[in-house]
Structure 1
Amino acid sequence: MVEMAPAMAPQAVARVKTLAREGVYDGLQFHRVIDGFVAQTGNPNNRDGGTSAHPDLPPEFQFRIPAEAATIVVERSDGIEGLVGAVPFAGVRLPDGRIRGWGAYCPGVAGMGRQADPGTANSEIFFMRAPARRLDHEYTVWGRVVQGQEAVLTVAVGEPPKVPDLMLKVRVAADLPPAERPRLQALDPAGPAFAARLAALKREKGAAFTVCDVDVPIREAPAPAAP
């Protein structure tokens, strides 16, 4: 399960939804999987450089959002780090009270692949197997895995793998019949339980603490009571 971040990358999120709805992603290989780095997929030709029938996308490396749309977990003299939903970012506060930010490439983050030209994102997507903050500012962040990161960590490694794993079926959860939609609950980032969890992490990590040390716990929500 991937939580998408339209506030951070609206065009990339729209493209991923479109390709999922068209069935383009169904059956595609994880064609480039590097241990300690990324699991990459999404090209219709199952190798780097393929594209969908849609035009390339412009880069969405930065975004601006109201301050209340984010949960700040790190505040330093030169900037901030936090979460938009479950998706990590780094940024700065602006004089108008908003935040200018960019996606932070932490474990589980979903990015748009591209060629050398920054404006060549199309259909290729990748999921982070480990943090790689050198990708910040360079690749569009469109979401984060909130359930099933173990799958990202266990897909076959290789460029390409000898026996690649596949995305068997990709669906937009909102398109599923209500009875089939996953029911997930996230720990409220504004609540006391999250604050206590954050404080414990900061004590454990000390000065090395970053937003990549933070996740938003997700659990299956209980089924609604029968009428």
Structure 2
Amino acid sequence: MSMLLPIFALLAAAQTAASPPSAPTPKPTAAQLAAAAPAAAWAAIDPKDLLLLDFADGQRSVIWLAAEFAPAHIANIRTIARSGWWGDATVYRVQDNYVTQWGDASEKKPPAAGIDRHPPAEYEWAWGAHGRAVANPYRDAYAPRTGFTPSGWAVAGDGKAQWLPHCYGMVGVARDLAPDTGTGGDLYTVIGHAPRHLDRNIALVGRVIDGMAALSALPRGNGGGLGLYEDAKMRVPIKRIVLAADLPPSERPAYQYLRPDTPVFAATLEARANRGGPFFTVPAGAADLCNLPVPVRKAPAPR
């Protein structure tokens, strides 16, 4: 009996030596950090700043309008939506790795009544004009200074001027050659690698925050080398374009954005720049501005 005790001890020691070391606690992802953020870290998006694109197949895309940055164009967009001018709108251009565009494919309709046909070039503004931005700690290839406004928008700048960047999902106003600035009747969204060379050349008026697949997963066009649908049958009809504020309260979708001035937002930036987990053996230590979208969520149902 006395000889069995050392054997059991040796077996226990061997099992301990063979056991792999315990895995480190997984680093939370940016999405997990945002999901765990307290209610006070979230701010509501005004229903009048939510433009809804309802498609015939039941899909919906939701655009958050950047009203403070392009007020003249967005005033036009609200007027156009309320006038019914988009009643026969279609998606008529889908250029691979670039943009999806919708509006009047015929280019023959007179503009909607009551709009400004020649809005100003709302491409940039004075540095800090929309509140002091929370600085982005990571470098950007296109702008020496970048950050996030109190209202939840990523911005690029140089210390003198500031502008919205052409990131994935951003929505801009299609236009002709300068000095034309577009009215807002035809819009596009970025569906590929961020075309930052368009920054400060076109008015950006919002960001798709839900239902992006309805715009990005469409068949690509090949007309004119611009992704136009040469066959009119390929055009995707839009059933309705409406502002959330114009719907009955019971039908309005509600969304919130994570406030950039909160510690949890800073943590999401760090998590995106230095991803954890067993797959990432070397932290990047950097993140492109367009890879740092401000988190947005559907507003929780009231308790």
Q: TM-score, normalised by structure 2?
A: 0.65
CA pair 73-16 structure 1, distance change in 2 beyond 3 A = same
Distance 2:288 2:213 in 1: 22
Equivalent of residue 146 in structure 2, options 78, 81, 90: 81
CA pair 49-209 structure 1, distance change in 2 beyond 3 A = farther
* Identity score, percent: 30
Distance 1:10 1:49 in 2: 26
CA positional deviation for 1:182:
0.7
Which residue in the other structure is 2:31 paired with? none
- Equivalent residue letter for 2:271: A
Distance 2:190 2:163 in 1: 16
Equivalent of residue 52 in structure 1, options 92, 111, 116: 111
CA positional deviation for 1:152:
1.9
Distance 1:219 1:174 in 2: 18
Distance 2:110 2:135 in 1: 36
Distance 2:67 2:130 in 1: 16
Contact 2:102 2:186 in 1 (8 A): yes
CA RMSD of superposed structures (Å) = 2.5
Q: Cα deviations across residues 49-88 of structure 1 (Å, max 9, x unaligned)?
A: 8662442322111123446353432466973122344443
Unmatched 5+ residue regions in structure 1? 95-99
Contact 2:72 2:119 in 1 (8 A): yes
1:155 paired to 2:247:
no
**Secondary structure of the equivalent of 1:8?**
coil
- Equivalent residue letter for 1:192: P
More divergent stretch after superposition (209-218 vs 10-19): 209-218
Distance 1:35 1:222 in 2: 35
Which residue in the other structure is 2:289 paired with? 211
CA pair 74-105 structure 1, distance change in 2 beyond 3 A = farther
Contact 1:58 1:118 in 2 (8 A): no
- Equivalent residue letter for 1:186: Y
1:111 paired to 2:177:
no
CA pair 203-148 structure 1, distance change in 2 beyond 3 A = same
| Pairs aligned (count) | 218
Aligned ranges for residues 139-218 of structure 1 at < 5 Å? 139-158=202-221, 159-160=228-229, 162=231, 163-204=234-275, 206=284, 209-218=287-296
Aligned ranges for residues 6-21 of structure 1 at < 5 Å? 6-21=67-82
Higher relative contact order (CA 8 A, sep 6+): 2
Computing the radius of gyration over CA atoms, which structure comes out larger, 1 or 2?
2
Distance 2:242 2:171 in 1: 16
- Equivalent residue letter for 1:102: W
More divergent stretch after superposition (168-177 vs 10-19): 168-177
Q: TM-score, normalised by structure 1?
A: 0.84
- Equivalent residue letter for 2:154: P
1:29 paired to 2:90:
yes
Contact 2:138 2:288 in 1 (8 A): no
Contact 1:87 1:144 in 2 (8 A): no
More divergent stretch after superposition (30-39 vs 180-189): 180-189
Contact 2:138 2:286 in 1 (8 A): no
More divergent stretch after superposition (68-77 vs 209-218): 68-77
Q: Cα deviations across residues 164-222 of structure 1 (Å, max 9, x unaligned)?
A: 21222111112222111112222222222221110122225736622100112222222
Which residue in the other structure is 1:126 paired with? 188
CA positional deviation for 1:144:
0.6
Contact 2:145 2:158 in 1 (8 A): yes
More divergent stretch after superposition (129-138 vs 190-199): 190-199
Which residue in the other structure is 1:221 paired with? 299
Contact 2:65 2:74 in 1 (8 A): yes
**Secondary structure of the equivalent of 1:168?**
strand
Which residue in the other structure is 1:97 paired with? none
More divergent stretch after superposition (62-71 vs 140-149): 62-71
Equivalent of residue 99 in structure 2, options 34, 38, 56: 38
